[in-house]
Structure 1
Amino acid sequence: MTDLHDFAPSIPDAFREVVQGRPAEPKVGGDDWLAHLPAQVAELADEWDLVADGPVWHGVCAVVIPCHRDREPVVLKVSWPHEEARLEHLALQSWAGQGAVRLLAADPARWAMLLEPLVHDRNLDAPELLEACEVIGGLMRRLDRPATPQFTRLSDEIDRWIPLCRNGSPLVPRRLTEQAASLLADLRDGCDGRLIHQDLHFQNVLAARREPWLAIDPKPLSGEWAFAVAPVLWNRWDEASAAYNLRAHLRLRLGLVSEAAGIDEDRARSWSFVRLVTNAIWEAEEPHPGNAELSRWIAAAKTMTE
């Protein structure tokens, strides 16, 4: 059991390595944020009457601390401040535990949430792939509801991505970037209005006690669910790369999710192509782009073309 007033030694080294040296986003740099994190956790523990129950977990952008409050198990999540997590609490509040982890309390100013406990070491990487795709599609159907005005609109992202694709990169085939720019203009109509989880992949679905599977880490957006299929294609990549026919394999994933979610498969394919191409461009813009990563984005994007 960890005393949350002496939290500094419990910050995982792997998490420190991810955050250290990050530029200020939006107001504090990674080193300063890490230095203040123990005091912040102690303050939250006092305000929410928390006692730590076990080792700290972490993702890429947050630490997660199993606790109890009044003998009830809870989880404290504190996120590195970044735009995609800014309205996570509002999305979870809207879903109210229906298909997603239940929000118990939130402190947006400190990027902190109190959540129901899930089975943190059991996600959709374990089940058979086709079953996992159907689970994700079913969760999309359950999470679907109107987005409130606070959320970023997908059409606003289109305004940024069209020039990105038109400018392209020497490392990404021009025919792909031009096709992506053209598709983005066509996809604009009707793309806003639903509250979506834009990072709903196998590791962002955990087993739960009250339901078999619940979504976590939503990165919410006012958009359409066809946009949200793409992460299912680029995760569990070892299985995709080992497939005899990559196109058939990824198209099968896309079809299963689309059918289970009740969304248009052609539109999901178009959005997935766009997201794969923009990922390739962003990778190519890195100071030292990873050849394997870049090849993966390009190969996957080509499978979404006719």
Structure 2
Amino acid sequence: MGLIPEPFAETTIAREGEAGRAWLAELPAIATDVLTHWNCTPAGDTMHGEVGIVIPVQGHRVVKISFPHPGNDYEADAFEAWGGVGAVKLYQRDDDRYALLLERARPMTLVEHDEDVVVIAGELHRRLRIPAPDGLPRLSDRADEWAEELRKDDAELDHPLPPYVVDAALAVVAELGRNQPEILIHGDFHARNILRADREPWLAVDPKGYVGDPAYDATTFLRARAAHQLGADDLIGLLNHELDLFAETAEIDPQRIRRWAYLNLVQAAFWGRRHGFGRARGGSELDRFIALCDELALSWIA
């Protein structure tokens, strides 16, 4: 495999257009510079996620270089604040080039693990919950944007959700969204961002680094679980059980998670209709995801 895996290049250009193409052209020089500056010797094939490449280097470390996007601005700050507790260790950072030198984890995510997935995630989520350092973006600052988008989507999209469902989602924004605790949260906490490791059994990767309600952060994990288990018998009952189990393990009020999850579901039902999802951009699979969001929103009415 070369420095820039072909599938990564294709998806980057498809998502970012000419900006992505220009960054990919600069990426080999960026990688060479940071590897040289940090005295790193490559020790394996380049891997990739959705927004960056990961180069294994000697010393049980990796160099990660991400596309320069606002969603990646605070990743290093989150790693620094955690100091290796529940997350991979950060050794070096180059903010201008969105490059990080990190502890290496194994190429196995919690998705591939069969046992105690919810308990493992809940325990890790609890350990990551620390007072937020200064300078990170606050989820509460997005509350007005959330409310505006809900009203706009409700008016413009063809959907089956009755007005009281959207009103309940707006109530969550008003009651929970505008006043959130000063806690560092991962921001993209789901099973694919939890990796098998050596120093600890499981460690978090790819944080966004927000300040907000840990119960909000929990909903990302649970939404991904819903997609992973689509087609299971009594899916709603299973998800309710997993929500309660996660809440107990993470030591969070389950009703608070359920309210945030409700908002998240209504947002996802609208988002899917406008944009599709990462693993389903169209067709019958997308229709199933959207139908699941609708069904859960109606059953989890806040």
Q: TM-score, normalised by structure 2?
A: 0.89
CA distance in 1, matches of 2:88, 2:253: 27
CA 1:300 to 1:269, structure 2 compared with 1: closer, same or farther past 3 Å?
same
CA 1:15 to 1:23, structure 2 compared with 1: closer, same or farther past 3 Å?
closer
CA 1:238 to 1:150, structure 2 compared with 1: closer, same or farther past 3 Å?
closer
Whether the aligned pair in 2 keeps the contact of 1:22 and 1:31 (CA below 8 Å) is no
Whether the aligned pair in 2 keeps the contact of 1:137 and 1:257 (CA below 8 Å) is yes
- Kindly state the Cα deviation for residue 195 of structure 1 after the two structures are TM-superposed: 0.2
Whether the aligned pair in 2 keeps the contact of 1:52 and 1:67 (CA below 8 Å) is yes
Gaps in structure 2 of 5+ consecutive residues:
none
CA distance in 1, matches of 2:253, 2:24: 43
CA distance in 2, matches of 1:280, 1:23: 24
Report the aligned-residue RMSD.
Answer: 2.1
- Alignment match, 1:5: none
Once the two structures are superposed, what CA deviation does each residue of 1:165-199 show, in whole Å capped at 9, x if it has no partner? 12224233243322211221111354131000121
Please show how residues 126-137 of structure 1 align to structure 2 within 5 Å: 126-128=112-114, 131-137=116-122
CA distance in 2, matches of 1:79, 1:37: 10
CA 1:212 to 1:168, structure 2 compared with 1: closer, same or farther past 3 Å?
same
- Alignment match, 1:50: 40
- Kindly state the Cα deviation for residue 236 of structure 1 after the two structures are TM-superposed: 4.2
Once the two structures are superposed, what CA deviation does each residue of 1:197-233 show, in whole Å capped at 9, x if it has no partner? 1211111111111111111111111001100111222
1:63 aligns with 2:53: yes
Gaps in structure 1 of 5+ consecutive residues:
3-8
Whether the aligned pair in 2 keeps the contact of 1:251 and 1:303 (CA below 8 Å) is no
Whether the aligned pair in 2 keeps the contact of 1:85 and 1:219 (CA below 8 Å) is yes
CA distance in 1, matches of 2:88, 2:74: 15
Amino acid at match of 1:10: L
1:226 aligns with 2:215: yes
3-state SS of paired residue (1:151): coil
Q: TM-score, normalised by structure 1?
A: 0.88
Identity within the alignment, %? 32
CA distance in 1, matches of 2:143, 2:88: 29
3-state SS of paired residue (1:89): helix
3-state SS of paired residue (1:263): coil
3-state SS of paired residue (2:233): coil
Whether the aligned pair in 2 keeps the contact of 1:273 and 1:305 (CA below 8 Å) is yes
Whether the aligned pair in 1 keeps the contact of 2:143 and 2:178 (CA below 8 Å) is no
